[in-house]
Every structure is written in C-alpha cells, then in structure tokens.
Amino acid sequence: MPDGALFMKAKESDRFSFQHFSVSASPQDMQDFLDELLHFSVYEMDELNLLQIQMKFFEIGSKHQEMSLSYCDGILKSPELMDKLRNGKFEVVLSDPMYPCSEIVAEELNVPLVFTFRFSIAHATERLCGQLPAPPSFVPGAMSKLTDKMSFTERIINMLFYLFVDPFCIIAWKKFDNYYSEHFGRPTSYCEMMGKADIWLIRTYWDFEFPRPFLPNFKYVGGLHCTPAKPLPEDMEEFAQSSGDDGIVVFSLGSMIDKMPKETSNMIASALAQIPQKVLWRYGGEKPDTLGANTRIYKWIPQNDLLGHPKTKAFITHGGTNGIYEAIYHGVPMVGIPLFGDQPDNLVHMKAKGAAVIMDNIKTTQPQDLVDGLNAVINDPSYKENAMRLSRIHHDRPINPLDESVFWIEFVMRNKGAKHLRVEAHNLTWYQYHCLDVFAFLITILTVVLYIFFKMCKFFIMRCCFRSKRKSKKE
C-alpha cells in the first residue's frame, strides 16, 4: 500500500497483510488532484468549448499519469519489496487497472493476473487492450450519455466519440508504453501487457448495463459490495418511524462532496423543506439557513441500511456506481444530481430503465426542479415498479456477485491462469481483426474474374461483329 494513499488505510490486520512502500506523491497531492478535477468538472466545464475541455482533461490526465508512475517506481524500484513479493509464493495478482504496473508485477512473479474494473472512457481499455467487442451502432461509449437505442444522429455522435477517444488514449498511454519497455528491456506496450490479464471482473451487471456482446474472460459482478440492511442507530430509527406513511428520503452526494457553496446548500435545503417526507442528508458543510424541520444533516449515514429500510421512498444521489447498486439491490427509485466522471452516464442508464429522474446540473437546478423530481419518483408508481424489477434481476442470479468474484479468482489460482478463455483477437493485427486482408483478397479475385469476363465478352462481341462484316462484304 503506498504511503501516499488517500482512501486506503491499513486496517483489519487480522485478515490482510499490508506492506507499505514509498512514493513521491503525497496524500495532499492526491487530494489537490481530486479537488482540481471536481471543481473543473462541476463549476468550469460548462463555460468552455470542446477543445478547451479536452486540453484541460489532457492536463489533468498528465498529472494522474505522473502520480501513477510514482506508484510504479515505489514498487518496482524497491529491491526489498520486490524480494518479499518474489519470496511470498503468491498465486495471483488482483488489481484495478486504473493504476498501472500490476501487469509488470504479475510478469515478474510469473503468476496470473485478475483485474477488478469499473470502466474506461468509451470502453477504450476494454476494447483496445481486452479486445471486448463494442459495435458503435448499439453499444454507447462509456460517458457518452447515450443509450443502446440511438437515432441516426446519436450513432454519428457515438462513432465520433469512439474515433476521438481511441487516438487520444493511445497518445496518453505513450508514457506507460515507454516505462514498460524500459523496464523489460524490449519493446512492449501498456495495452499489450494489460491484454495478458486472465480474468476481468467488471463491477456492473445486466441490471445496470445495456445488452451487449462480451467475452468469456469478462465476468460481470456488479453489486458485490451490497448486503442486506442492518438495524439503524436508535436516533435514526426514531426519526424514520416519525415519518408515518410519508416515509423518508435518503440524500448523499458521496464521500468526495463534503461541502458546497452556501447558495447551493440553501437551494437544496429549501427544496427538501417543501416535501412531506423526512430527509436524512449526509453533508459535512455549514448548516443551511433554509433547513426545514423535516430534514436532518449527518456527517455520515449508514447508506445501505437506510436504502434497505421499509420507510425509504427515494434516494437523492450523485450517481456513483456504489450508491446506484445499493439502490438497485433494495429497489429504491432515484433522483440524480450528477457531478462529474461516470455519474451522468450512470444516471442515464437508470433513467432509460425507468428507475430515476435526472437534474441537469447542480449549479442550474432550482428548488422546484428538485421538488418535482422527488414527487415524480415517489408518487408515480412506475418508478418504484421499475426499481423493484431491477432489484429482482439483480438477485435472480445463479451465484451472488461476491461469491462469483471469489470463484473466478480461485479458478485462476487452481488452474494457473485462464488462457483458454483468452480470445485469439489479441494475436491479430488490426486489419486481420477486421478481415480487411480477406476483403482485399476477395475484391482482388473478383476484380480479376470480372476483368477476364469483360475481356472475354469483348473478344466474342468483336469476333461476332467481324464475322458479320465479312459476311456482308461477300453478299
């Protein structure tokens, strides 16, 4: 675990053994990076043109790469740590490829590699490195905010999204390509090394995803963190029970939004004060002036337990994957206030499935917009019915997602990998993958055949004409 980790803490030492390693990036560096990304995404992006947005994301991405490579150095350039890993008799490397170099560690230890992964923009990593098929005609690129039912114009947008993101990622990965090649002393690439992963555990499922083709080594295990609701703390239970038949609303914008501008918090509080439900709001900022008697603010809430409470009528969420899956697990309709990253796209999935309404932007949302959204998901029974339908799909599986994840990790350990599930596409060139060489060959053959056919036709026509002329002269 890096000593610069912001969210990871060395706890539960009875279950895990942690090994610290030094990195040049400090926790404050990571916090500053996240603050910059969040502020830009929420408060600045709407005022810039597309080129300015992409340039800013490229700048932010470069900072992320530098921090990522410092993590690589912390592991790979520590002889003591690498010796411990080599002598540890490990059987598998489990990693989130959001940070690189787990592929190098797996190669150095000569053990299989399992990824646990949420997504990459436009599914670039999954497509380019994992060879996951994604026809742009009906597979919307991640973060495109499109559904699988696209109009002609939307299919153009989706195709352009893929075509733009792919070269952008290839250029952005050059730093990793050079790092990997330098480490191994031979030409290789980040994508090539990622493609060696035996299993990809994708943290979504068909209750969330649109139907699409996938590969035998891609396993969808969304909701693996979800559990049945436990009893609430006594004060929360009393507050929930005091709501009567109106019920409660759970409100959280995630762990990264601890505070917000006062005018924004006042806007939200004034909207919540207008609904008959009791509201439990996770918020660490200053108490809003417009806070109603029906709303209580907590610095932390047992979100999963609240969503599983029988009094819960709706969930106001930023659209993070974990929160959405807890709502799906318990069958709770959602009102989405997306902030950045994958959140707008996640909520588009839920809206398309009839389980959510979405606010356009936290800066432009008015109190009445939020009130209308809450009234819709609470009073229109279709939202609850659709949320319960997704919940049934989530639970109606031959094996729960956590056990499935464990099974595939142990499967890889027992069988020393899962290369029999790895498609041959990894060993094909881009033109072989798309059969362009086959098309070129067939077109060439067809051209030759047509050329010969037309030449023969011309020959016979000319011969017939010549005979006709000779016959005419004789007469």
Q: Encode pLDDT of 303-323 as tens digits.
A: 999 999 999 999 999 999 999
Q: What's the confidence (pLDDT) of residue 473? A: 53
pLDDT tens, residue by residue, 327-341? 999 999 999 999 888
Q: What residue has token string 């807890």?
A: 326
Q: Partners of 278 in the beta sheet?
A: 248
- Rounded to whole angstroms, the Cα distance separating 330 from 355 reads 12
pLDDT tens, residue by residue, 96-112? 988 889 999 999 999 99
Contacts of 269 (CB under 8 A, 6+ apart): 288, 289, 290, 291, 292, 295
- Rounded to whole angstroms, the Cα distance separating 63 from 57 reads 10
> Stretch 8-34: mean pLDDT, rounded?
73
- Rounded to whole angstroms, the Cα distance separating 412 from 104 reads 18
Q: Which token pair is 5?
A: 């980790």
Q: Provide the phi-psi class of 309: left if phi over 0, else alpha when psi is between -120 and 50, else beta.
A: beta
Q: What's the confidence (pLDDT) of residue 357? A: 98
- Rounded to whole angstroms, the Cα distance separating 202 from 406 reads 13
Question: Which position has the higher pLDDT, 429 or 471?
Answer: 429
Q: What's the confidence (pLDDT) of residue 67? A: 86
> Domain spanning 234-395: which CATH class is it, in words?
alpha beta
Q: What's the confidence (pLDDT) of residue 471? A: 55
Angle between helices 102-109 and 174-184 (to 10 degrees): 20
- Rounded to whole angstroms, the Cα distance separating 277 from 1 reads 43
Q: CA nearest 379: which of 281, 273, 272, 246?
A: 246
Q: What's the confidence (pLDDT) of residue 172? A: 87
pLDDT tens, residue by residue, 166-223? 998 898 899 999 999 999 999 999 999 999 999 999 999 999 999 999 999 999 999 9
Q: What's the confidence (pLDDT) of residue 14? A: 61
Q: At 306, phi and psi to the nearest 5?
A: -70, -40
Averaged pLDDT of the chain: 90
Does the pLDDT of residue 275 top 70, yes or no? yes
Q: What's the confidence (pLDDT) of residue 236? A: 96
Write the burial class of residue 264 (CB in 10 Å: 0-12 exposed, 13-18 middle, 19+ buried).
middle
Angle between helices 79-87 and 102-109 (to 10 degrees): 50
- Rounded to whole angstroms, the Cα distance separating 209 from 133 reads 15
Q: Partners of 386 in the beta sheet?
A: none
Does the pLDDT of residue 467 top 70, yes or no? no
